[in-house]
């Protein structure tokens, strides 16, 4: 196992479908069973809180990164291994990238999309070579994946760049894909 820490991008709400919560718990347990620590947005609400609580309950370490202005809004989690308050969202994403070996996206909103796109862009620019994977809970990411296919088909993204966006349907599959990509160095710059 190459991965020591995985950053999870996800909603500060739990969403309407109970499968989102169940998958967050399953991913957190799968990480803890493998000794993989969690890096995440530092909140105690929604999927963010569910993932953090589950990793902590399983004996894992959790590193939260939260902008000072969101500590009250997202209600910063009080029981983390480490909580890193930062000035803003840019610093949050930079710190999470620094602390992690790979990224998983659970369902979420515009914040989750922002985090994913910045991680992917930074990879494209060579700022890091860490892999990222969508955990496609009951088809949540299908439309986004189709849109990325359209971008590539229309000539705005190379086929190699499109292949960088991994997709899994189960937590263990996501971890295995990320671990293989990290071990093989298949996530570096491509044009």
Instruction: Report pLDDT digits (tens) over 72-93.
Output: 776 899 999 999 999 999 999 9
Output the pLDDT for position 73.
74
For the chain, give every domain's residue range: 5-181
For the segment 64-73, the average pLDDT, to the nearest whole number, is 89
Q: What is the CATH number of domain 5-181?
A: 3.40.50.450
- Give the mean pLDDT of the chain: 94
pLDDT tens digit string along 152-190?
A: 999 999 999 999 999 999 999 999 999 999 988 755 554
Kindly write down the DSSP assignment for every residue of the chain, as one continuous string: ---SEEEEE--SS--S-HHHHHHHHHHHHHHHHTTPEEEE--BSSHHHHHHHHHHHHTT--EEEEEEGGGTTTTTB-TT-SEEEEESSHHHHHHHHHHH-SEEEE-S--HHHHHHHHHHHHHHHTTS----EEEE-GGGTTHHHHHHHHHHHHTTSS-HHHHHHEEEESSHHHHHHHHHHHHHHTTTS---
pLDDT exceeds 80 at position 5: yes
């Amino acid at each position: 196992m190459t991965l020591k820490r995985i950053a999870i991008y996800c909603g500060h709400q739990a969403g309407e479908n109970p499968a989102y919560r169940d998958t967050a718990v399953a991913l957190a347990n799968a990480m803890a069973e493998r000794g993989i620590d969690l890096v995440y947005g530092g909140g105690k609400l929604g999927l963010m809180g569910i993932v953090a609580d589950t990793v902590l309950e399983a004996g894992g370490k959790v590193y939260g990164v939260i902008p000072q202005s969101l500590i009250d809004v997202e209600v910063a989690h009080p029981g983390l291994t480490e909580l890193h308050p930062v000035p803003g969202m840019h610093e949050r994403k930079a710190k999470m990238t620094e602390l992690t070996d790979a990224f998983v996206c659970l369902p979420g909103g515009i914040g989750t999309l922002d985090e994913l796109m910045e991680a992917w862009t930074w990879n494209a620019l060579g700022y890091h070579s860490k892999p990222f994977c969508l955990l496609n809970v009951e088809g949540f990411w299908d439309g986004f994946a189709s849109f990325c296919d359209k971008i590539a088909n229309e000539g705005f993204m190379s086929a190699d760049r499109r292949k960088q966006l991994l997709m899994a349907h189960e937590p263990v599959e996501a971890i295995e894909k990320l671990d293989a990509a990290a071990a093989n160095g298949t996530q570096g710059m491509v044009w």
